[in-house]
Amino acid sequence: MNRKCLLEISVEALESALAAERGGADRIELCGDLSLGGVTPGADLVRTTRAKVRIPIFSMVRPRAGNFVYSTVEFAEMKRSVVGAKESGMDGVVLGVLTKEHRVDVERTRELTELARPLPVTYHRAFDEITDLHQALEDVIQSGAKRILTSGGAKSALEGAATLAELIEAAGERIAIVPGAGISSVNIAEVARRTRACEFHSGLSAALPYGSNEYKKFEEEVRILTGQIARISQTRTTWE
């Protein structure tokens, strides 16, 4: 039996969320300021997007741009953001916390994961700043997160495909590995073939540059991706 593959699109505005939904995206990652890599979206954006968008929305929880080592005050803000996401009807949260030694902060991540319940947690690309990704995989699993968004430690998911494949094999059914970074209609089929992933993340920044309002073009690019995702789902059984 074929397993349906999923496409998550990151957005920073209601209009782009609606365009992604029209294009057939399975899930939205809602962020503030994608030009900085994505931070916690404002409460108004969360509420209006939830009111208008019907597909699942995962909200970014990141108090600032920069590194992922957070102060006590910043961590308290993250906890408030997790609670706010639950109260606003989000379907999941996306976060990542590192120690000063650039390892997964298992204790803090677990605290946020437990606070988020029953919402699932995606551990974001803070993961890619860790040297030992296989140990990081075990640490994230220990924290209770359900997904890891990663490029395999490379600049793009395509460049990190070999590592992604290793992580997916090591993860088994314990956690989902979601390739992200530089994924587009040009390379998603190759990323899928090399990694055997079944969830994919794209920001399509080439189709909708940060601050752009070319939402029709964005919608069309998402539609092309979703068409490729459908074909990937159908051909997964031939990859073995």
pLDDT in tens, 222-239: 999 999 999 988 876 555
State how far the Cα of 95 lies from the Cα of 104, in Å rounded to an integer: 11
| pLDDT at position 1 | 40
User: What is the pLDDT averaged over residues 32-58?
Assistant: 96
The whole-angstrom separation of Cα 136 and Cα 129 is 10
- Could you report the per-residue pLDDT of 126-175, keeping only the tens digit for each? 999 999 999 999 999 999 999 999 999 999 999 999 999 999 999 999 99
The residue among 4 and 178 whose pLDDT is bigger is 178
Q: What is the mean pLDDT of residues 37-62?
A: 97
At 228, the amino acid letter reads: Q
Q: Give the separation between CA 86 and CA 81, rounded to whole angstroms.
A: 9
Q: What pTM does this model have?
A: 0.94
Kindly indicate the confidence band of residue 206, based on its pLDDT and cuts at 50, 70 and 90: low
Average pLDDT across the chain, whole number: 94
C-alpha distances in angstroms, 178 versus 147, 171, 212? 7, 11, 26
Q: Does the 6-238 domain belong in CATH 3.20.20.380?
A: yes
Cβ contact 83:116 at 8 Å: no
CA–CA separation, 69 vs 65, rounded Å?
A: 11
